[in-house]
Amino acid sequence: MLELSYIRENTAEVAARLGIKNIDAEGILKQILEIDSRRREAQKDLDDNLAESNALARQIGDLFKSGKASEASDLKARTAELKVLAKELQEKFDGLLQEQNNLLVQLPNVPHSSVPRGKSAEDNEIVHSEGNIPALFEGAVPHWDLASKFDIIDFELGNKVTGAGFPFYKGKGARLQRALINFFLDNAIDAGYYEIQPPLVVNEASGYGTGQLPDKDGQMYFCDLDKLYLIPTAEVPVTNIYRDVILKSSDFPVKNVAYSNCFRREAGSYGKDVRGLNRLHQFDKVEIVQIQHPDKSYDTLEEMRSYVAGLLRKLELPFRVLKLCGGDMSFTSALTYDFEVYSAAQQRWLEVSSVSNFESFQANRMKLRFKDEGGKTRLCHTLNGSALALPRIVAALLENNQTPKGIKMPAALAAYTGFDIIA
């Protein structure tokens, strides 16, 4: 959620920046400010009323103590009037505040000034490419065929036991998963991240804190009986650790890493996008989360970007980095880099990581603040990124490394898998 004071002081700029996300916000901004001035007026009236009531209550107390009961009764008549009025004023104020919040939560984060304009994924800017696209041998097949050929991932079994999008990993497939998780966690720890194992379900306040709620309600699995949501990413519990927290400047940077299962309903997905491992309802991901001083968050974003690049390099996967255009960015992000690996048999780029700076957008919702050098309480900046999401990495590893003799593992992984070929 954007800060009201920021909107108030930079209205034109907010409107212009939201234009990069193809949102015509002028109307809603105007509405917010109009309600804001009415809200403040209502608050003034209410506060004045309550101040008078409080003063009278004190007087009545004093009069009672000094035995002047009749004078006290006279004042009581006035407090009764004030009380009726206070209720009305309170309702008016609450209504306006509610109205204002309803509008505020609809506004997405303001994109960074470097974000390119654009409508869709077509308009994303490729800022980096690396690695060679492998030339596959005659008879190379997509990963879903490799999965069944070597019996390492079983989609049919998943369909039977649970449903589409919930595969079983078996034998060397399961070990490869476990190896990747450990590989990613160990790398993160070496880079200074603190490992956390979070709960896989969260309450409503947490969903709201990171911005999944209210606008992405239908994308999360929900346990109705207990009113809990299955997490779509570890970002949700790990960032919410800091909900309603005031950090010290010396706490920066907070660097956390968490491995978790992720659950996504993926309503509305279809076609080749969901084939094989390309889009699952349950998958594994290692997520890095940082909390930073506002002045340093963009340096941190670059640091995270180069960290993720390093992982892909070690895995010897060809990849490219995209700076997302306004139209393709998430609701909460100010700047996002997507990492895509080339999956050679499908002959397409697959998104395996998304690294974002949310600036103070999440922090404002969560009331995550810090005391700055001058002792002032300010909102922190939050960032996160996948490092990495497993399924598409597995897809690319299987496809790119297939040979007539089997699937070779990159050297960096062999120590973790305990084997160097799936045959």
Partner RNA sequence: GGAGAGAUGGCCGAGUGGUCGAAGGCGCACGCCUGGAAAGUGUGUAUACGCCAAAAGCGUAUCAUGGGUUCGAAUCCCAUUCUCUCCGCCA
Q: How far is the CB of 144 from RNA (least distance, A)?
A: 34
Q: Which is nearer to RNA, 66 or 114 (CB)?
A: 66
CB 149 within 8 A of CB 422: no
Q: Which is nearer to RNA, 43 or 159 (CB)?
A: 43
Q: Which is nearer to RNA, 50 or 274 (CB)?
A: 50
Q: How far is the CB of 14 from RNA (least distance, A)?
A: 17
What is the CA 407 to chain-centroid distance, rounded?
35
> For binding to RNA (CB under 7 A), which residues are involved?
4-5, 36, 40, 43-44, 46-48, 50-51, 53-58, 60-62, 64-65, 76, 79-80, 83, 246, 369, 371, 377
Q: Which is nearer to RNA, 266 or 372 (CB)?
A: 372
Q: How far is the CB of 225 from RNA (least distance, A)?
A: 10
Q: How far is the CB of 375 from RNA (least distance, A)?
A: 8
Q: Which is nearer to RNA, 51 or 126 (CB)?
A: 51
Q: How far is the CB of 406 from RNA (least distance, A)?
A: 37
Q: How far is the CB of 265 from RNA (least distance, A)?
A: 24
**Shortest CA distance to 229 belongs to which of 194, 272, 198, 184?**
198
- Asked whether the bond before 390 is cis by omega within 30 degrees of 0, the reply is no
Q: What angle do CA 358, 359, 360 make, to 5 degrees?
A: 105
CB 322 within 8 A of CB 125: yes
CB 32 within 8 A of CB 1: no
Q: Which is nearer to RNA, 57 or 141 (CB)?
A: 57
Q: Which is nearer to RNA, 80 or 157 (CB)?
A: 80
- Asked whether the bond before 253 is cis by omega within 30 degrees of 0, the reply is yes
Q: Which is nearer to RNA, 64 or 194 (CB)?
A: 64
Q: How far is the CB of 365 from RNA (least distance, A)?
A: 13
Q: How many CB atoms lie within 10 A of CB 408?
A: 18
Q: How far is the CB of 340 from RNA (least distance, A)?
A: 39
Helices of type H across 210-296: 235-240
- The beta-carbon contacts of 14-18 under 8 Å, at least 24 apart in sequence, are 14/110, 17/110, 17/111, 17/113, 18/107, 18/108, 18/110, 18/111
Coil vs helix vs strand at 138: coil
Residue by residue, DSSP assigns 400-414 as HTEETTEEEPPHHHH
Residue 405 corresponds to which amino acid? K
Q: How many CB atoms lie within 10 A of CB 306?
A: 11
